[in-house]
Amino acid sequence: MNIPLLIVLLYIILLFGISFYVSRKQKKDGEAFLLYKGKNSAFVVASSIAGLAIGGASTIGIAENAFSVGLSAGWYDTAWAIGAVITAFLGVKALRRSGYSTISKLVDDIYGKKTSFIMVIAMVIIQCGIIALQYKAGGSILASLLPDVFTVESGTFFSFIIFMLVAMIGGMGSVSLTNVLNLVLIYVGVILASVLVLNGHGGWEAIDALTAAQPDVPYMSLTAGMGWIGILSWIVVMIGNTNSIQGVVQIGLTAKDDKAATTGYIVGALLMIPVGFICALLGVASKALLPDSTGAVALPMILMSLPPVLGGLTLSGLWAADMGTACSMIIGLSTTVSSDIIFRSSRNKLDAKKYILANKVIVIVCSFITYLVATQMGAILDAMQKALSLAIGTSFIVIGGLFAPYFTSKKAGFFTILVSIVSIILWSFVPSLAGVFQNVGFFMLFTCAVTFIGISFVDKEKIKSREKEAETVLQS
């Protein structure tokens, strides 16, 4: 009997049970399928945001990166956590108090339809990239730990099917509740793996031998491998991502009140940090135990040798990490497509049942498109950083519009997002840019800042005019 596969199947049955339970509860509430507004406690919000953050890049991707940069690879999750805390006081509060359900509608009201249109395009591109990477990471995990059952291709397809069904059956409600289960499995998986690899497989001794043999490589340094420039670039990218991406900020709308939303994001941020450094330590141990292997396959090869039950729990935990991110982002992408494209002005023409059915179809179509994208992607962490860095431009216009309306130009919104899209294309096709900016996050920060501040400084048409505000006060 294949015990790891059996444990994974039992986990999937639990997920479907939660999804069907939530689906039955919200049959008469068309808005709840995608939004699930005001229903979650701070604990569920914390589990949701942590489950979203801890995905393939935050586990297998970090371990792979630690193969060359050591423990400092764990800063990926810490950067996510910093972004989540800032979002608790900026993006989440702003969206909850604005009365809007999507970032794009908020931007539409502030900047106009042209900016909102290009914002939707950027949002779709970012979320498609993130979702596709979770399918790919899920496929890699299944293929590595269940090689008799899955190839990378079939594992990717299987991950796509299960992630899509969980999101499609129960919507945002099932994603919220399944993330509680996912977070438990993630912690059980990575802690079990670390204890067994470091103590049971001689990981600590191998690390000592590795650091003694290669003293010039800072495997056990918390900062030297990535360097402060690399760490700061991740923080910049994550602050942009967490404050303006629909799939991230939307979790804040599920909280029952502002306090639950803020507390949930802060607690969720604290839950992210340990996983990143544990996975980085596992990556260093993998390098020490299998020095001739590659970062992408060393950790899975070690985990394959675990006892069946423990291996199954570890596998489920790593796969749960992908599911938490993928399902949350699928709902975020579907909300963008539904609210900002398909039902932008015709929502009231459908009753609750038809609206839910239409949104289920949107979830299926969005999932399938992102699966096609997944089949064309390269390295996990590199592709993830490119996808997330696009959000720096959207973050500029959201934060600028909400907190600096007298300075921010209406034209700055459209051109900042346009420049961010062009910047990603340039970064991909002009390798010499890496020699100047070192990281795509810094390049994006530079181009978007120059565009946003430059246009706002020159253009006189501001989002909010002090003169008009004075006239309104006098008239009232």
pLDDT digits (tens, 9 = 90+) for 359-415: 888 889 988 888 888 877 655 545 666 667 778 888 888 888 878 888 999 899 999
User: What pLDDT, on the 0 to 100 scale, is given for residue 473?
Assistant: 35
**CA gap 236, 233 in Å, rounded:** 5
Which pTM was predicted?
0.80
User: What pLDDT, on the 0 to 100 scale, is given for residue 37?
Assistant: 76
pLDDT digits (tens, 9 = 90+) for 351-360: 667 777 888 8
Q: Spell out, as residue ranges, where the chain has pLDDT lower than 50.
A: 381, 467-476
Token pair in block for residue 67: 């193969």
**CA gap 277, 267 in Å, rounded:** 17
Distances, alpha carbon 464 to alpha carbons 21, 103, 149, 206, 411, in Å: 46, 19, 59, 61, 13
CATH node for 3-21+39-343+351-389: 1.20.1730.10
**CA gap 361, 344 in Å, rounded:** 17
User: What pLDDT, on the 0 to 100 scale, is given for residue 476?
Assistant: 43
Angle separating helix axes 103-111 and 391-403, nearest 10 degrees: 60
User: What pLDDT, on the 0 to 100 scale, is given for residue 220?
Assistant: 92
User: What pLDDT, on the 0 to 100 scale, is given for residue 474?
Assistant: 37
**CA gap 137, 142 in Å, rounded:** 9
**CA gap 182, 176 in Å, rounded:** 10
